[in-house]
């Protein structure tokens, strides 16, 4: 794996962990309900970071157990379902901000049977969606560190600049070669989509 990819992944994790702490106090209008839920899931889960690949049965079981613990915390009345009011209340109790409208939207987005509540399976789907959103935020932060200001893409010059800041001096030709490996449309730069593909 090219060094620039490893550094980008480290930068994404570092930037995201510090920015997600800062975002905990933002208003609902500045972040989505799923982002709020993802941060809440991290606060309530005993593990710091989840392994998204869940490569072993024990890891998958631990992940399910962690989600069950979070679900049980949200399910204040113990009926096996989470209502929008319970969701909003739990987020508020843990110091987050989630309006009732946002709580209703979050529940509605994963409510497969249309009863206006989340059972455990539906809750798992909501948490998976929030994790995907978090990954996308991490990638956006990392991409922003490497992109040419305002251009919406990583150019050989912007890649060279960022690598130099990280103590890894490369020539423009080296940077062009790195970009070529993941430049799917051959335009000589990396779009966010190409960067996302590279990082997965």
Q: Where are the domains of the chain?
A: 24-136, 147-199
Query: Which of 1.10.238.10, 3.90.420.10, 1.10.4030.10, 3.30.70.360 is the CATH number of 147-199?
Result: 1.10.238.10
pTM of the model: 0.54
Q: In the CATH hierarchy, which top-level class contains the domain 24-136?
A: mainly alpha
Task: Write out the H or E segment, with its range, that includes residue 195.
Answer: helix 192-199
Task: Please count the other Cβ atoms lying within 10 Å of the Cβ belonging to residue 53.
Answer: 8
Tokens of 21: 């702490």
pLDDT of 112? 93
Element of type H or E holding 151: none
Provide the 10 A C-beta neighbour count for residue 45: 18
| Residue range 64-114, pLDDT digits in tens | 778 888 899 889 999 999 999 999 998 888 888 889 998 999 899 889 999
For the cut 80, the answer to whether the pLDDT of residue 52 exceeds it is no
Q: Give the tokens for residue 42.
A: 């991290």
Residues 106, 34 contacting (CB under 8 angstroms):
yes
Question: Tokens 């997965």 map to which residue?
Answer: 200
CA distances from 195 to 2, 115, 130 (A): 13, 39, 21
Q: Would the CATH topology of 24-136 be identical to that of 147-199? A: yes
Cα dihedral 151/152/155/159 (nearest 10): 110
Contact 70, 39 (CB under 8 A): no
| Segment among 69-73, 105-109, 132-136, 173-177 with least mean pLDDT | 132-136
Return the pLDDT at 38. Answer: 64
């Amino acid at each position: 794996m090219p060094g620039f990819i490893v550094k980008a992944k480290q930068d994404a994790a570092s930037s995201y962990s510090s920015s997600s702490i800062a975002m905990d106090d933002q208003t609902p209008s500045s972040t989505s309900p799923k982002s709020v839920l993802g941060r809440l899931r991290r606060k309530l889960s005993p593990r710091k970071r989840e392994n998204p690949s869940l490569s072993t049965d024990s890891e998958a079981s631990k992940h399910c157990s962690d989600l069950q613990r979070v679900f049980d915390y949200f399910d204040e009345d113990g009926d096996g379902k989470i209502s929008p009011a319970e969701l909003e209340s739990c987020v508020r109790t843990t110091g987050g901000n989630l309006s009732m409208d946002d709580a209703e939207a979050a529940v509605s987005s994963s409510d497969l049977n249309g009863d206006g509540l989340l059972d455990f399976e539906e809750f798992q789907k909501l948490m998976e969606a929030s994790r995907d959103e978090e990954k996308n935020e991490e990638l956006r932060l990392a991409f922003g560190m490497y992109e040419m200001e305002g251009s919406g893409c990583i150019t050989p010059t912007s890649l060279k600049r960022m690598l130099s800041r990280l103590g890894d001096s490369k020539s423009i030709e080296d940077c062009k070669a790195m970009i070529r490996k993941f430049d799917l449309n051959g335009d000589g730069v990396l779009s966010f989509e190409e960067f996302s593909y590279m990082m997965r």
